[in-house]
Chains A and B, each alone.
Chain A
Amino acid sequence: MTAVSLESVALSIGGRRILSDVTLAIEDGEFIGMLGPNGAGKTTLIRALLGLVPAIAGTIRVLDAPVRRGNPAVGYMPQLRQPIGDFRLSGRDFVVSAANGHCWGRLWPSRSDYRDTERALELVGAAELASRPLTETSGGERQRLLLAQALLGSPRLLLLDEPLISLDPRRQHAVIELVLRVQRELGIAVLFSAHELNPLLGTLDRVLYLGSGQATLGSVDEVITGPVLSRLYGSAIEVVRLNGRIFVMSDQYELERGEHLHDPAGRHHHA
């Protein structure tokens, strides 16, 4: 099975072209890291795979079927938002709100919704912390609850939008480990968008790099090279490898780290 296949796809938002003529295929069970500068279209591509942004050209297929909104086989973890108000709602009630939460005419989650929630919480090791109020969890703990929400139902494809944002390196590592364990256990495909490559090195099967309206999918050695990235950034890029880490440099500036600092506290905007 092919998890995602794009054929000559073009995406635009509000008249602004984001991606042009993208053709690629992500196989079932692959762990794909998605990278690229701010505004390169990482969130837009995820929203297109969710059926929220229509392709203006080309065909998008998800899990061997035309892309459609509300596909239960697609799990999605949006960027972390600060909880509003000061409701001390428990993590469990938060997670279960998404279990068939789109259904009208039901007052309360059903017994099977609660069962599914427990299964997902167990899967991410959050059964215990789910009893605590959401307002009293750390960023890393909240990411685990969001991941549990994404795993409700039985997704074959997980789309994770910047799960590492505003986490310290130790917590970033824990999130990656967790996603990898769940991915292996369920044998599903993962598209993991991130600002930095290094935390994901050794975990991802292939890397998808977006930039200048284009996308390149391949192994780290194929994609993270001076010529490929220079094309995607539209300027001269040098790739420096040091002790198993990779630094993407432009005129002595390290690009990815700089990008990361520009994003204020993980708020995202549907530009």
Chain B
Amino acid sequence: MTLPGAITMLSYGFVIDALAAGGIVAVVAGIVGFFLVMRGQTFAGHALSHVGFAGATGAVLIGVTPFWGLIALTLAAGLAMGLLGERVSGRDVAIGMVLSLSLGLGLLFLHFYTAFAAQATSLLFGNVFSVDRDTVLTLAVLGVACLAALALMARPLLFATLQPDLAEAKGVSLRLVSVLFMAIVAIAVAEAAQIVGVLLVFTLMVGPAAAAQRLTTRLSTGLLLTVLLGLGETWLGITLAYQTDWPSSFWIAALSGLVYFASLGPTRFSA
């Protein structure tokens, strides 16, 4: 893109809103996802977004804004997963069943409210250019709350993730950590779904974090790299979508996948 082209792009309010929303979510989902990847709970995160789909479509049926339906149901499911602990959140089959049940329910709700069907695509795959100023503000407030909560529990969370037996012996309640963390994940998932849709939440929550964890041995560097990769993939994806008129979620997913698979290369050979 030429410099005048970039200036033209940035003169549009909807582009600025898209970049702002994408940036906020990239940071929040990236950092939360970093811990999610470390805990080996990425599939649980993926399932939460599908629960959110049922929440969003159900909310429309009863006349509530989809975003709040989405966040209410992901939060409820996140808390339930945290409470049930390893009994459920580590079980692929149980999570997979919850995932498909939620999609099925979402489909049923859509069926009852046919006028809403046009929006189904944007719920499933996101549309960052349709984000308005109010949504940006909501995303920012929720994002700050998410990161503040994560900062407060950072050390017990890390301890319980890396050394659960020792953490428990030192007085960390593994269940409390698990419940609080899944609640934070639920909000981050709801945020990510606003940008890339419920089906592509992985691209923002897991892609950057998983790539960063392949590339560094330091925790601090890993977190920083996750944020940088997430921001880069999101902003470049939005720019490419503006240029090509292809869906933004496609570009973000493509960049996220590209970076992740590239990250597998160098260390696989040197290790």
Contacts and interface: CB of A to CB of B under 8 A. Distances in A.
B151 interface: yes
A11 B38 CA distance: 35
A256 to B, nearest CB: 24
B218 interface: yes
Nearest to B264: A86
Q: In the complex, which range does the number of interface residues on chain A fall in?
A: 35 or more
Interface stretch (B20-28, B71-79, B154-162): B154-162
Contacts of B214: 86, 88
Interface string A92-112: 011001101111111111000
B92 interface: no
Interface residues of B, number: 33
A101 B158 contact: yes
A47 B168 CA distance: 10
Nearest to A69: B171
B136 interface: no
Interface string B213-225: 1111111101000
A52 B169 contact: yes
A176 to B, nearest CB: 21
A94 B217 CA distance: 10
Interface stretch (A17-25, A77-85, A117-125, A216-224): A77-85
B155 A109 contact: yes
Contacts of A255: none
A232 B156 CA distance: 40
Contacts of A97: 155, 158-159, 162-163
Given A70-B171, A88-B214, A89-B213, 4 more contacts: A78-B166, A85-B213, A89-B217, A102-B167
Interface of B: 37-40, 151-156, 158-159, 162-163, 165-172, 213-220, 222, 267, 271
27 contacts: A47-B169, A69-B169, A70-B170, A74-B169, A78-B163, A85-B213, A87-B37, A88-B213, A89-B222, A90-B217, A93-B217, A93-B219, A94-B162, A97-B163, A98-B162, A98-B166, A101-B159, A102-B156, A102-B170, A103-B155, A104-B156, A107-B151, A108-B220, A109-B155, A132-B217, A136-B271, A150-B166
